[in-house]
Homo-oligomer: A and B are copies of this chain.
Amino acid sequence: MPILTSEFISHSFLELQAFIVKELENTDGQSRFISDEWVREEGGGGRTMIIGEGAKIIKGGVAFSKVEGEITSLMRDQMGMQGQRFLATGVSIVIHSRHPMHPTMHMNVRYFETDQGEHWFGGGIDLTPIYVDIMLAKTFHQSLKLACDAYAEKAYHQYKAWADDYFYLPHRNETRGVGGIFFDHVKPGNEEEKERVFAFCLELGRLFPVLYAAQTATEFSKPTDQQLTWQALRWSRYVEYNLLFDRGTRFGIISNGRTESILLSMPPVAHWKYNYHPEKGSAELQTLQYLKKDVVWL
């Protein structure tokens, strides 16, 4: 049986990126990704693919990277990493939609290895609607459950709860969106297990464009000013989450990663209003009521 090397994994992630990019271009139907290849001084590099000003996608990116380096004391403290050197490879996506009735969507799959022989996978997909549509949130979670069930019994329930805890803004007492799945430090016990976890990661990656197409299938007429204002306010919460809490963002900044690739998750625009509360009975307030942990979407 061939050994699943880090070379093979990172090569598969690179192919995954190409697949996702093609599919998202088909869904958008107008804009095309541009590609930025970069090399990291300390070791490794990546290919960042960026799209903007599309029919459906207003700003987004699909980033591949494979980086190596020294495990710093900051990484030891903040991420519990041991050993002297690490290797990290993965694909990371954030897509912001043009229309406020279309969501922001995120996917990440990643593989870590240290020179102490430890290795693990992590990943997740989550959905951040500007306005929550209950049916769309349900179909999103149903698709994730199917993918999880094919991988491991109880995986959906475990990873869904993990996502509720992880994609959470404590200072706002709200979730980033309607959640999804999240997992980290999944350490396979043997080679067979490693292949299974890796196959699951690839499956999640391939699922992303399918889910995005489903979330943006309905066309809407010109958005109102109120919808656009709400979109910019919700995007400010996305900024807060990513800069204050997101592990990938903080790891990237700490480990001297490529800033423009790390911050491709930023929305095109964000608004802050002091102490803003939506009106009683409004669609905006209704959306806030769904941004809670432990909502059962199935």
Contacts and interface: CB of A to CB of B under 8 A. Distances in A.
Nearest to A77: B77
A118 interface: no
Contacts of A240: 243, 263
Interface in A254-286: 256, 259-260, 262-264, 266-275
Given A244-B253, A253-B244, A270-B270, A36 B275 contact: yes
A163 to B, nearest CB: 21
Contact of A271 (B52, B263, B264, B268): B268
A125 interface: no
B272 A267 contact: yes
B172 A259 contact: yes
A171 B253 contact: yes
A236 B272 contact: no
A269 B267 contact: no
A232 B171 CA distance: 25
A244 to B, nearest CB: 5
A52 B274 contact: yes
A253 B245 CA distance: 11
A173 to B, nearest CB: 9
A239 B133 CA distance: 30
Contacts of A170: 253, 256
A61 interface: yes
A107 interface: no
Contact of A272 (B232, B263, B271, B275): B263
Nearest to A249: B244
A57 interface: no
B274 A264 contact: yes
The 7 closest A-B pairs by CB, nearest first: A243-B243, A266-B272, A171-B259, A260-B275, A50-B274, A270-B270, A171-B253
26 contacts: A36-B275, A50-B274, A52-B274, A59-B272, A170-B253, A171-B253, A171-B259, A171-B262, A172-B259, A232-B269, A236-B266, A236-B270, A239-B239, A239-B243, A239-B270, A244-B253, A260-B275, A263-B272, A264-B274, A266-B272, A267-B272, A268-B271, A269-B270, A269-B271, A269-B272, A270-B270
